[in-house]
Structure 1
């Protein structure tokens, strides 16, 4: 499908950094999902069905041709009395008949019903393309959500590994200080408790990471690798213009385009149903062959006929009990519902766009604050660590600085990926998600 091809071309042009073989980049993940995701495959198959349905072979414009053949054999006991008074009695008289024909039926005019049905089938194909695009967009959002969850957990695991290394170093230092009488056994025990807590947190985060990677493989529809890493570098599109995106949303939002297609389809349904008010004119033709082998009681012993016959027929339901009137009325009500659906949808997506834009701007601002906050947390930890080595701060104060740094890193990671997902949702609403270079 052209949507998939265009997105693949865009992704193929992306210039990426040098990565190891087991690194699953965003462009690679998108490419794999487009090829293997089962939801996308099924949407593409539905689109193929709609493509078949809109073909002229399904339009009703072509004639139908049928062939018929038959044979009859009779074995009769016959008593025949002729006009001159003679009587003939036949026992076991045989007779047979054979026939074959080719018949053609063609509708010349059906009140324009098939004309509007054919147009409706074309619009249904266009609707199926939009539904396939919607499936791809939703799959991409799902893919990015799981992908960035893997990235966030990967960074969290790295932070926990670094924190565990700090805790291990703290135990060694506490043990040395205890051996030389510079601290109590309580400091060693506290360090061991904190180290164990860090180990538990790391094990839980690693398990969450493994589980989320499996979730990502399901979305991809393929086992990318026994194990893999993801890219934790996130680039934001900082030149997004709200007014431009709003205008694009009104023109390209897939939900709006779908409801517009449904309105057009309903309009054709009304016109197609109105064809019941008009007559149907058809053309029929037959080429036939008939052979009769008659018994002795018949005047003609053998007859063979071949020939062509043709004709024009007209049928007109002057009154069909009101079913056509009912269908037209109901189709008009359906059209009114589709128009009301569009008005409701407009209110909803306008609200969603305003909320999504505000949410994106807020989360982007929060991420920038978290970026600054982590610098402060690192500086605070480094200074506290130096003082701890000099014995100027307690182990409790050191642990608090360590936890503050870990919390800041977790908050930064969460803010980064939440801001990116908010950006992608704005792009989806505006109909631009598949036009972005990732």
Structure 2
């Protein structure tokens, strides 16, 4: 009785819950999924940031060739005995002083160290561009796989619904035969148990479909609450695919090697490492640098005469003549004094300098030599990375070709199995209806047909993905 109740509840869920969810969903084709993923996927956004960092590094290295210009300003109070910066005399009083400066320097010759750094960062930018392209291509593969998994899950749901409907019809027919006394009541119990098992399989298939959609939404960085329904191609079996008999793995590998962004990125990284080595070697030789500057200052203790002169007489001594003292005087002139204005002090104290400096590396704790050796090792490492990825690409192509051949053969076998199971089920149905086959044998035949149908659908989508993966290696794109 519990089994019968479970079957009825499952059917109610399928009849009333499923249609409403389909109506509310939005349609998503493979192309729409791919375009959305290319714009919103978080991993791709990280690749874009890496490219932007490479662009920034190249820009900085290019601008490093320009002269260095620095301006400065200072100001402060001094107390006690100190040197007046305007007169260079010692004074014992508090004073305020300020200064302005401008310094310019530029490298005249450095054995092309900066030029090699620019070239290295340029190749690194090229490498990041190829890595971004690779990330986009990989996203196409991942979206295609997720899309096909959703289509497969939906097909499994359809087959499970058909199986539930078939089991329900058989149960209804068996009830009539039991009521007429044509078959024993145990046949009805067996059919109810089969309906319950089919309903449970349907629930699992629907749950698997939901999980596949959630995985796709995570890949797209799409809100889980957004309605989502994939659009099935008109005839999935007619999707354009490669002819395996005319596709040799070595030919696919050659095409992949010419178009594979990962391989191109590795080549750019090798060239960048070679330029980095040239830059490290240039640092071992002398470098010539030009410098120039200007400065001025101000102090509040700097005074100067100010205003009209006033004649005065200064006594500079006494002279005694015949017992009489006479003053020795000197005529002079005095005036008021004022603090030298700020602008005047800046003009009066303005000074300039210009010079050349030659830097000769003699002993740097082996740092420069160490940089050269590290750059040499880095070249070897980048070359090994290129060779490893090339070898991995060849292995992936040959594996993809073998998998595609195996998937095609498995699909053909699944077609034959499904046809044979359908024929066996048709014969079993006729025998069961006339009472020549018991319920257990009939249910087994029905289960075998259902399994053959599921296996055929699974083999079809597996074959499509495997052949599309091989197509991706050849053309660096996937079409559905």
TM-score class normalised by the smaller sequence? 0.7 to 0.9
Worse overlay, 45-54 or 157-166: 45-54
**Uncovered stretches (5+) of structure 1, i.e. residues with no partner:** 1-18, 79-88
**1:218-257 equivalent positions in 2, closer than 5 A:** 218-223=218-223, 225-231=226-232, 233=236, 235-239=239-243, 241-242=247-248, 243-257=250-264
Residue of structure 1 in register with 2:397 after alignment: 353
Alpha-carbon distance in 2 for matches of 1:214, 1:185: 44
2:78–2:94: 8 Å Cα contact kept in structure 1? Answer: yes
Match status 1:264 vs 2:271? yes
**Uncovered stretches (5+) of structure 2, i.e. residues with no partner:** 1-22, 83-89, 304-338
Residue of structure 2 in register with 1:275 after alignment: 282
Match status 1:290 vs 2:297? yes
Q: CA RMSD in A?
A: 2.8
Residue of structure 2 in register with 1:181 after alignment: 181
**1:18-57 equivalent positions in 2, closer than 5 A:** 22-55=26-59
1:150–1:230: 8 Å Cα contact kept in structure 2? Answer: no
Residue of structure 2 in register with 1:132 after alignment: 132
Q: 1:218 to 1:21 in 2, by over 3 A?
A: closer
CA offsets, 1:116-147, max 9 Å, x none?
11111111111111222222233332222222
Worse overlay, 214-223 or 337-346: 337-346
2:400–2:466: 8 Å Cα contact kept in structure 1? Answer: yes
Match status 1:335 vs 2:379? yes
Alpha-carbon distance in 1 for matches of 2:161, 2:24: 21
Corresponding residue SS for 1:100: strand
Alpha-carbon distance in 1 for matches of 2:159, 2:67: 73
Bigger-Rg structure (1/2): 2
Match status 1:384 vs 2:428? yes
- The normalised TM-score by structure 2 is 0.77
Corresponding residue SS for 2:275: helix
Residue of structure 2 in register with 1:144 after alignment: 144
CA offsets, 1:357-408, max 9 Å, x none?
1111221232233234323333433343344334443333332232122111
Match status 1:67 vs 2:67? no
Corresponding residue SS for 2:350: strand
Q: 1:144 to 1:47 in 2, by over 3 A?
A: same
- The normalised TM-score by structure 1 is 0.84
CA offsets, 1:61-108, max 9 Å, x none?
122211111124334469xxxxxxxxxx98x73544321122212112
Q: 1:390 to 1:22 in 2, by over 3 A?
A: farther
Residue of structure 1 in register with 2:324 after alignment: none
Q: CA deviation at 1:230?
A: 4.2
Alpha-carbon distance in 1 for matches of 2:228, 2:131: 33
Alpha-carbon distance in 1 for matches of 2:104, 2:426: 92
Residue of structure 2 in register with 1:4 after alignment: none
Q: 1:64 to 1:427 in 2, by over 3 A?
A: farther
Residue of structure 2 in register with 1:81 after alignment: none
Corresponding residue SS for 1:277: coil
Residue of structure 2 in register with 1:405 after alignment: 449
Residue of structure 2 in register with 1:211 after alignment: 211
Corresponding residue SS for 2:98: strand
CA offsets, 1:9-64, max 9 Å, x none?
xxxxxxxxxx9973321111111111211111221122122222222665411222
